[in-house]
Amino acid sequence: MAHEAEDKARETSAKASQKTKETSAEADKKASEASSKASGKAKEFSEYASEKSEELSKDAGDKYDKVKKSAARNYREGKEEAKEKGNELSRNRDNPVVVGNAVIIGVGSVALGFTAYQKYAQGELSWKLAGITAAAVGAFAVGDYYVSQYLFKNKYPKK
């Protein structure tokens, strides 16, 4: 009977060993398939990312070139306009309207800055005061514009 038990134990051990080998081989096969599948997906994603990167890079380069050309054109136009306005101012520097406006801007800026500093030093400068002052300056500028246009048309024409 001990001999039979020993044979049965060997047989059970052999079956368990065979089952373990089969399970291990199946696990290796499934792991290999999963690894292969993951590798394929990673390769697909890498190719997709590379294509998108190239596409976005090209698009960014095109947009950069377009903006660069636009900026260069705007710079040239702005430079020409500033030169033209400078020449116009130079031609009209003896016009009483231009001289009057220059004096008003200079004196007004100094007076406004000095008064603002005084109010600040006294602790009386507030947003309300700044808003009222800005509105007054704006109203004066509008009035000055229309008076200057009237004088340019009727009394002191531009050159």
Chain segment 119-131, per-residue pLDDT in tens: 999 999 999 999 9
| Higher per-residue pLDDT: 27 or 130 | 130
What pLDDT, on the 0 to 100 scale, is given for residue 148? Answer: 94
Rounded CA separation 81/73 (Å): 12
pLDDT on residue 6 = 79
Phi, psi of 100 (to 5 degrees): -60, -45
Q: Which of 19-28, 109-118, 138-147 has the lowest mean pLDDT?
A: 19-28
Give 144's pLDDT tier (boundaries 50, 70, 90): very high
The three-point CA angle 75-93-141 to 5° equals: 75
Q: How confident is the model over 74-100, as pLDDT tens digits?
A: 999 899 888 888 887 788 888 999 999
Structure-token match 């048309």, residue found: 153
Measured from the Cβ of residue 97, the count of other Cβ atoms closer than 10 Å reads 19
User: What local confidence, expressed as pLDDT, does residue 130 receive?
Assistant: 95
Contacts for 101 with CB less than 8 Å, ≥ 6 apart: 144, 148
Buried-state track 46-60, b at ≥16 Cβ within 10 A, e below 16: eeeeeeeeeeeeeee
Structure confidence at residue 97 (pLDDT): 92
DSSP string across 114-130: HHHHHHHHHT---HHHH
Taking residues 3-28, what's their average pLDDT? 82
Beta carbons within 10 angstroms of residue 2's beta carbon: 6
Closest-CA residue to 132 (of 145, 124, 100): 124
Query: What is the distance between the terminal CA atoms of the chain, rounded to a whole angstrom?
Result: 133
